[in-house]
Structure 1
C-alpha cells in the first residue's frame, strides 16, 4: 500500500438517512444463503509453537487457536443504479449486508474461551464443532463494543490441544460511509461527475481491509500472522459483477440475485481479503501464465484510459518473477481503478485496487509524466504480491518489511520496463529528502519500534509513514551495497522461499542474507542492520581533511537534543584522483585515516553515490574545494553526490553545523545550470526558506535573487514553453516544469505573462491548447495572478470535466488564488461531498495551507471542522498547516491544539510539528538577519 494516500468516500450526510431506511429493511429481510464449498488446500499449513507469553487481551488475540480456513458467504443489497435519483437517500438504495462465516482452526493451547475480532457487526447463531468427533460444543457469546473489538465465545468444555474445530456465525452490518472495510462508492456513467441524473449515476461496492478493517466485514482473527485460506461466496444483484482474490469458480443466477463462488485463495492474512461488486469492464494484459485484467468505469475502458496500465503490468510482473525466481502465486491478477479509495493503492492478493487517478492515463489530457506515477504505483503494489502477501511481517511494528521492500524493489522494476524514466535516480532523491527530514527530529521513531508501542488501531495506522516507506527502502539499498547486490538478491530470494505463505520478522531476513555470504566474511548482518532499524535517527559523519580525523554523531535539527547512539556506517570515499577502500565505522569515537588527509589542495568526498543513509560534514577548506569543483567542473563529482552536496549544506545549516551562508553559496552556480538534480535539490531546500520568510521583509530580495537565477533556465526552455511544447527527454520535461514553477512563483514577468495569456485564450476560445505537461503549473499561476473570473472558470471546468487528470490539475490550481474570500469559499466546499469528494478533503485543505495566503485560513478551518476533515489523513493536515509556524504564539496554539483535540493517527505528526516549530523559532531568530543581508548583497552585486 503506497504511502501517498488521498481520502474519499461517499456522502456522510446521505448515510444518516440511509441508516434509518436500513433499520426498517432489516426487520423484513431474509437472511442468507449459506454455501459450503470444500476445495483442496493449495498451500502448506504452517505450524505454530505454543506461545510462551500471551499478549493482553485488551489489544491482541491470545494464541490458543490457529486458523486454517475460512468459509465466508456475504450478501450485499445495494443497487448499481438508482432510477429515481430524488429517492436516492430514501427507500431505493440499501447499504446493509448479511452473511455467515465458518472458521476452521486448530487448538494449540487448552482453552474454554475463543476470541474473534468484530467491529460494528451484529453476530448471532454461534455453533462450535469438534471436526474430529463431529460433536457440537455448547457455547455462549458476549461482546462489548465500548470496551474492545473482541467477540468472546464461552465454551461448555475445554478445547483440546491438537484437535481441530469449527466456529460458525451469522452476521449483518452496514456498508461504511468512509473508505474502510466494505464501502459504497459512486461514479457517473458518461456524464459530468457532479450532476446527478438517473441515466448516469452508478454505484459500486469495494473493500479496504488494511490494516484492521476486516473485522468490520466478518468475524475473524484479524492479525497479520494468523493466516488462513479463504473460500468465498458473494451474493449480489444480477446486473452486477463480483471480483475476488481468486478466479470465479462458478456462478448462478435466480430471478434477482447472482451467486459468485470463488476458488480457494492461498494462505493469506485477513487484511488482504478483498472483493469488488460493480459494472466495470476490463482491458487484458499479455503474460505467459497469468490472466491479467485492468478494470475501470466502462467509458474509461472504452476510451482507452486503461491501456498504459495494462501494457506495463505484465512486463512488471514478469520482471518480479525472474528477479525473485518465484512465480506469481495465483492464476489471475485483477486490477481495479476505483473512483474512491484510501490509500492510493492496495495490494490485495489477486485483486489490486487503485484510486482511478493513479492508473488512468488519458491521451491529450494527462501529463506525459503521469506515466511515471502509474508505473511507480503498479510496480509498488505488484511487489507486494511477494513482500507482504507471500511473506508477511509477524506484526505491524515490522511493517517496513513489506512497505520498505516494495518501495525499494519497485524502483528496479520501473527502471527495467521504462528506463527513460530514470526511476532509480529520481525516486532516490525524493526518498532521501523525505526520510532525512522526518528522521532528523528527536521525536522520530525506530523503523522497528517495540511491539508494545504498536497495539491500538491508531498506533498501527501511524506506522504507515515516511520512516516505514522511505527510510525502509534506503536502508535496504544500503545493505545491498554493503554485502553486494548479487548476495543481497540471493539472500532475499532465499528468504521468500523459506517463508512463503508464512510470517517472518527481520531476524529471519538477516539470517538468510548471512547464510549466502562467504564464510570468511567479517560482516555481521544482524549487528549492522539492527543499528539502523532498532533506534531512531541517522548519523552525520564529520571529516577534517587537515588531520584525517572523522567521527559520527546523530544528526538532529534541534541542537539542544543530545544523543549518544551510534550506527554501523558504511564509509565510501574518494578524492580528485582516487577512490578509497570502503569500510564500516562502528564507533562514535574519533578515528584517523591517512587517506582522509588532503594533499596538494585536493578535495575529499564521502558517501559515494549516496549508498549510505547519512549526511557528511567537512572542514571549511574542504567545503570550499568541493563547491568550487561544483561550479567549475561538476562532472568530476558523481551525479548523486552533486545533489548530496547541496542537500547536506542546507540541512547542516538548519542544524547549525555550518554557517547558513555556506548553504546559500551552494546555489550560486544555478544561474548557468541546466541539469535537473541540482535545481531540484536547491529548490526543495529553499522551500524551507520560503516557508520561514514569505511573511517577512526577507522574501522580497529572496524572490529577486531567484528571478535572477532562474531566468537563464526559463529562457533555455522558452521556445518550447511559449509554443506549448515539451522536449522528448523525461528529465528535461521535469526541468521545464520546474523552470516554469520557479519563474512564475517568484514573479518573473515573462513567465507570469505567458501563463495568464494561455489561460485567457482557453477562457475566451473554449479551446485548451496548453500542453498537458504544463497545465498544472500554468493553471496554478494564472489563477494566482487572476481574480474571481479565473477562479470561477477553473471551478466550472472542475465540476464539468469527465477527465480524472484534468480534474486533479484544476483541483490543485483552485488552491493557488491569492484572494482570501475565494480560498475561504474553497475550504467551505470541502464540507460538501457533492463538491469535493471526501477522498480529496485532506489534500485540498493541505494545498490551501501551502499557499501563504491560505495557511492561516486552513489552520482555523481544520480546528473548526476537525471531526469531519480528520476522517481523511489527519497527519497530512497537521503537517501542512504547521509548516510555516515559526513564532512563540504559533507554537502555543499548536500545543493547545495537540492537547485539546482527539488527534488519532495524527498524534506523532503533531509531536513532530511541535518540535519542528521549536527548531524553526530558534533558526529564524539566529539566521533572519544573515539571510536578509546575503540576498541583498547578491542582488546588489549583479545589478
Structure 2
C-alpha cells in the first residue's frame, strides 16, 4: 500500500509546506480528551434491536492478563470465516449510515485455554439467547464449553470471552456473533465514499483494512499471520454491484440482493476487500487468461479515463509472472477507483483499490507525471499479489519486506510497460534514493526491521508506513540485486515464493533463499551478514575517499552533526559497502569496504579524477579529498557529459548534504551548480532544484533571498531560452520524454526567480482559459506551474475561476493541480477563505485536507494564517480526524519544514509537546525537532558565507 508515500512527482515538489506547529498542544489535549470520552461509553444492541448504553468495562491497571496485551495469544488459529454484511446506503432516522452483519469463524485450539480473545473495534453486538455477545459450538462432534462472561477491552480492541472450561487441543469450534457498525466517512475499515452524478448523490460502501481496521468491519483475528479463508456474502440494493471474488447467481429481492462470493484464498485479514457501488467497468478481452476489469464512476469510465490502466495491467501482470517465475494466483484482477481513499492504493488480493488519480488517466488533460504515477502505482500494487499477498510478513515489524520490495520492482514493471521512458534510469533514483536519504540522515530515523515486541500498538504499526519502509527498503533491495545480479536475485525470489506460498515469513527467510541460489557471485560474507547491517540499524554511511593515498573510510552520516545517536547498534553503525568507481581515464572497478577504514591502492589517481557509486547503485553518500573535488568541478565546467548523468545529479546532491552536515564547506556545494548554465538534462537540474529548495525555506524572509534569486535567475535563463527555442515559442511539446520533464523545471524556476517573460507566459495561458473555460490551452505538463504562478500574480478573479474549475473537475489529477495552485495567491483573505474550505468535506474531500493545509502553509503569506486557523478550528479538526495518525503525521512533516529559530524549537515544539500527552504521530514530531535543530545550526553557521558567495557571483 502507498499509505502516505504514494506522492506524485509534481506533488512531491510542492510538499515543502511551511508553517507553525504550536497547535500540537491543543491537538494533543483534544485527542486525549476524545479518546478518554470514548473509553467511557460502550454501546450494545439488546434483543429488540434497540441501541442501549452498557456499563463500561473498567480497564485495569497495567497487568499481565492476555486481554491487556496488544498481541493475540498463541492458543487459537482461525481456519475460515463466514461473514454476511448489509450496509445501508441511505441514512437512518438519526442521519447515520449503518451496516449490520453476522460472522462465524472456525477455530482450532492449539494450546489449552479457557479464553477466546478476538479483535473488535467500533462494533456493537446483539446479545444472544445466552445473554452474551457471542455463541460457541463445537465442530466435528466436539462439545463446546459454556460462556461465562463476555466483555470489551477498549484499549487493546478485543472482545474477551471467558469459558467455564478449557478448549481441547486439536479440536475445532465455531464462534458466532451478530453486530452493527457505522458506515462512516473516516476512510478506514468498512466506510462510505460518495460522489455526485447528474446531480444525484451516490454512496459507495468500500473498505480499507490495512493495517488494523478489519476489526472495524467484523470480529476477527486481525494479525497478518492469522491467515484464513473467507466466505463472504454482501446484501446490497439491486441497482448496485458487489465486488470481491466472482459470485454465484444472486437471488433478486425487492430491497436487497445477496451476493455470495466464492471462498477466498488463504489470506490475511488486512487484504480482504469488498465494494458495493453503482460503478461501471471496462474489461479485457477474453483472449487473456486473467479477467482484468477497471471500475469507477460512470462518467470517468465512459470518458476513457480507465483505458490506460486497462492497457498496462495485463502486460505488467505477465511481466511479474515471468520475473517471479510464478503464475498469478487468481483468475481475475479488479481495480477500483474510489472518490474517497486515504492512501494512494491498496493491494487487496484480486480487488485493488485506488485513489482516482492513481488509476485514472486522461490523455488530453493529464500530464506525463500523472501517467508515470498511474503506471508505477499499478505496478506496485500488482507486485504485491505475489510478494505480500501470496507470501506475507509474519508481523508488521517486517513491513519493509512487503513495501520496500513492491516499491523496488514497481519501477521494473513500469519500465516494461513503458520502455521508451527509461523509468529505471531516469526517474527511479529521485523517487527512491534521495527521498530515503533525507529521512535516514536523522537520529530519529529507525531500522528497517525491528523486534516484534517493539511494534505492538495500532499507532506504532501505522507509523511504519513511512519513507524508510518504502524508499529505503527499495534502495537496499536494489543494491542487493545489483551486487548479486538480477538473475540470481530473481531466482532466489522464485524459490522463496514457491516454498512459503500462502504462509508467513520473516526477512531472514529471503536471505536464506538468495544464499542458496548464489553459486557464482563472490561475496565477502554471507548475504545475511551483509544485509543485516543495512536492515537492523538505521542510517547509512558517507564513504570518504582520499585519492592521494588510497585511504577509504566510512562514518554514519547525520545531517545534524552534533546530534547524539541514542539507539544502540550491534554493528556499531558500520556497514559492508559495495563501492563501484570510475576514473577520468575510463578505468572502472569495484571494492568492498568492510571496516571503518581501509587502504585500496587503485583509489590513488594522480591527476585523474575519481567518481564513486556509479549510477547510484549503492545506498551511501560519497566525499572526496579537496583535490578530487576540484578535479570533478573542473570536469563539470569543461565537459560535463563525460560524467554519467545520474552521477551529475549525485555530485550535486551529495555536496549539498555534506555541506549541511558540515563535512565540506557550503561554497563547495554551491559551486557544483555553476556548470548548470550548460546543463540541459533533467536529473542534474532536478537534483539542484530539490537542494536549493532548502535555501528558499531558510532564507525567503531574509536579505539573502535577493542575491539567491539573482544567481539562480542567471543560471536558469539559458535553460528557459533552450525550451522556448525547441518548442517554437512554447507552441510544441519537447520531443524527448525527459526534456518534457525538465521543461517543467525550466518554467517553474524561471518564474520563481523572475526571468523576464515567464510570469507573462503563465498569465497569458491562464487568461486564455478564463475566456474559454471549456478549452484549456495550458499544456498538461505545465499546469501545476502555470496555475500557481498565474493565481499568485492575479487577484480574486483568477482565484475564483480556479476554484470553480476545481469544483467542476471530473478528473482527480486535474483537481489536485488546482488544489495546489489555489494556495499560491498573495491575498490573505483568499487564503483564509480557502482554509475554511479545507475542513468542509462538501468543499474539499477529507483525503485532500492535509495536502491543502500544507500547500497553504508553504506560501510565505499563508504560513502565519495557517497557525491562527488551526488554533481556532482545532476542536473540529480533532473530531473529524480523531484517529488519523496518518493525517497528522503528514501535516506535521509538511508545516514544520521551515522551522529554523530557537523560538520555534523551544516554544512550539519542545515545550508545547512536553506539556501534552501526544498519542500518535510522535515519530513525525521527533523528526521535526531534529530537523529544526539542524536548521538553526545551519543558518547560524552558513548565512553569512552564502550571502557573500552569492554577492560575489553577481559582480
Q: What residue number does 1:11 align with?
A: none
> Cα deviation per residue 1:330-384 (whole Å; 9 max; x = unaligned)?
1111110000011110110011000112211123222243211110110011111
The 1:92/1:923 distance shift into structure 2, 3 A limit, reads closer
Quote the residue 2:681 is aligned against.
Answer: 675
Q: Report the CA distance between 1:764 and its aligned residue.
A: 3.0
1:773 aligned onto 2:777: no
Deviation at 1:248, TM superposition (A): 1.2
Q: Report how many aligned residue pairs link the two structures.
A: 884
Instruction: State the alpha-carbon separation in 1 of the partners of residues 917 and 770 from structure 2.
Output: 44
What is the match of residue 42 of structure 1? none
- Structure 2: how far apart are the matches of 1:634 and 1:140? 78
CA 732–902 in structure 1, closer or farther in 2 if over 3 Å, else same: farther
Where does residue 815 of structure 1 map in the other structure?
A: 823
Distance in 2, matches of 1:733 and 1:902, equals: 48
Partner of 2:212: 212
**Are the equivalent residues in 1 in contact too, given 2:190–2:207 (CA < 8 A)?**
yes
Instruction: Provide the residue aligned with 2:25 in structure 1.
Output: none
Task: Work out whether residues 569 and 586 of structure 1, in 8 Å CA contact, stay in contact via their aligned partners in 2.
Answer: yes
Task: Please report how far the alpha carbon of residue 150 of structure 1 lies from its aligned counterpart in structure 2 after TM superposition.
Answer: 0.9
Q: Secondary structure at the match of 1:251?
A: coil
1:742 partnered with 2:742: no
Corresponding residue to 1:891 among 895, 899, 905: 905
134 and 576 in structure 1: CA distance in 2 versus 1, 3 angstrom threshold: same
- The answer to whether the Cα contact below 8 Å between 1:724 and 1:770 also exists between their aligned partners in 2 is no
| Conserved? CA contact 2:44–2:124, under 8 Å | no
Q: Deviations over 1:609-637 (max 9, x none)?
A: 21110001001100011121122222322
Deviation at 1:822, TM superposition (A): 1.4
| Residues in 1 aligned to 2:156 and 2:76: alpha-carbon distance in whole angstroms | 19
Which region of structure 1 is more displaced relative to structure 2, 132-141 or 406-415?
132-141
1:482-518 alpha-carbon deviations (Å, 9 max, x no partner): 2222111111111111111000011101111111111
2:834 aligned residue (826, 834, 849) = 826
SS of residue paired to 1:774:
helix
Q: Which residue of 2 aligns with 1:253?
A: 252
CA contact under 8 A between 2:189 and 2:207: conserved in structure 1? Answer: yes
CA distance in 1, matches of 2:609, 2:363: 49
1:156-555 correspondence runs (5 A)? 156-190=164-198, 197=199, 200-244=200-244, 246-286=245-285, 288-425=288-425, 426-518=427-519, 522-555=524-557
Contact 1:78/1:94, CA 8 A, preserved across alignment = no
Larger displacement relative to structure 2 (860-869 or 457-466): 860-869
Say whether residues 1:726 and 2:733 are aligned partners: yes
Q: Classify 1:632/1:867 alpha carbon distance in 2 versus 1 (closer, same or farther; 3 Å).
A: farther
User: Following the alignment from structure 2 to structure 1, what is the Cα–Cα distance between the partners of residues 917 and 207?
Assistant: 26
> Partner residue of 2:851?
843
Alignment of 1:882 with 2:896, yes or no, is yes
Deviation at 1:145, TM superposition (A): 4.4
Q: Any idea what SS the aligned residue of 1:153 has? A: strand
Contact 2:104 2:174 in 1 (8 A): yes
- Counterpart CA distance in 1 for 2:67 and 2:943 is 52
SS at match of 1:173: strand
Residue 6 of structure 1: CA displacement?
8.5
**Distance apart, 1:934 and its partner CA:** 0.9
Partner of 1:922: 937
The separation in 2 between residues aligned to 1:333 and 1:859, in whole angstroms, is 45
By relative contact order (CA 8 Å, sep 6+), the higher-ranking structure is 2
Which range moved further: 114-123 or 417-426? Answer: 417-426
Per the alignment, residue 119 of structure 2 pairs with 117
* Cα pair 2:524 2:592 within 8 Å, conserved: no
- Compute the displacement of 1:276 (Å): 0.3
The aligned residue for residue 77 of structure 1 is 88
Alignment partner of 1:654 out of 660, 671, 680? 660
The residue aligned with 2:57 is none
SS in structure 2 opposite 1:542? strand
The one of 622, 639, 651 aligned to 1:645: 651
Q: Which runs of 5+ in 2 are unaligned?
A: 8-42, 52-63, 129-133, 566-571
Aligned-pair Cα RMSD in Å: 2.2
Change (3 A) 1:281 1:140: farther
CA distance in 1, matches of 2:268, 2:840: 36
Rounded Cα–Cα distance in structure 2 between residues aligned with 1:877 and 1:619: 40
Distance 1:620 1:54 in 2: 62
Structure 2 distance, partners of 1:27, 1:358, is: 45
Identify the residue that residue 45 of structure 1 maps to in structure 2: none
Normalised to the residue count of structure 2, the TM-score between the two structures is: 0.90
Distance between the aligned counterparts of 2:793 and 2:47, measured in 1? 58
2:575 maps to which of 567, 582, 606: 567
Q: 1:737 to 1:575 in 2, by over 3 A?
A: same
Is the 2:83–2:101 Cα contact (8 Å) retained in structure 1?
Answer: yes
The CA deviation at 1:561 is 2.9
Deviation sequence 1:155-176 (CA, Å, 0-9, x none) = 2221121222221111111112
SS at match of 1:725: coil
With over 3 angstroms needed to count, the CA separation of the structure-2 counterparts of 1:721 and 1:157, relative to structure 1, is farther
Q: Distance in 2 between matches of 1:67 and 1:54?
A: 22
2:67–2:160 contact (8 Å) kept in structure 1: no
Match of 2:626 in 1: 620
2: distance between equivalents of 1:921 and 1:72?
A: 56
Q: Give a deviation string over 1:503-534, Cα, whole Å, max 9, x none.
A: 00111011111111118864311111110111
Q: Please say which of residues 368-377 and 882-891 is displaced more in the overlay.
A: 368-377
Distance 2:728 2:68 in 1: 62
2:39 matched to which residue of 1? Answer: none
Aligned to 1:755: 762
* Distance apart, 1:326 and its partner CA: 1.0
> Is the contact made by 1:119 and 1:145 (CA closer than 8 Å) also made in structure 2?
no
CA distance in 2, matches of 1:427, 1:387: 20
- 5 Å-filtered alignment, 1:575-724, equals 575-588=583-596, 590-599=597-606, 601-719=607-725, 720=727, 722-724=729-731
Query: Which SS does the other structure have where 1:62 is aligned?
Result: coil
Q: How far has the Cα of 1:837 moved from its partner?
A: 1.1
2:719 and 2:47 map into 1 onto residues whose CA distance is: 69
| CA distance 1:862–1:903, change in 2 (3 Å) | farther
CA offset digits 1:858-911 (Å, max 9, x no partner):
234334444554625211111111111111011121223433456544210110
- Residues 285 and 313 in structure 1, CA contact (< 8 A), matched pair in contact too: no
Alpha carbons 1:141, 1:151 under 8 Å: kept? no
Rate the CA distance shift 1:291–1:558 in 2: closer, same or farther, 3 A: same
Q: How far did residue 722 of structure 1 move?
A: 4.3
* Residue 72 of structure 1: how far off its partner (Å): 0.7
Q: CA deviation at 1:90?
A: 6.5
Contact 1:186 1:204 in 2 (8 A): yes
- Structure 1: which 5+ runs fail to align? 8-22, 32-52, 80-88, 191-196
Mapped partners of 1:55, 1:571: distance in 2: 49
Point out 4+ residue stretches in structure 1 off by more than 6 angstroms: 23-31, 53-56
TM-score by length of 1: 0.91
Q: What does residue 163 of structure 2 align with?
A: 155
**2: CA distance, partners of 1:562 / 1:543:** 25
SS of structure 2 residue aligned to 1:795? helix
Shift of 1:56: 7.8
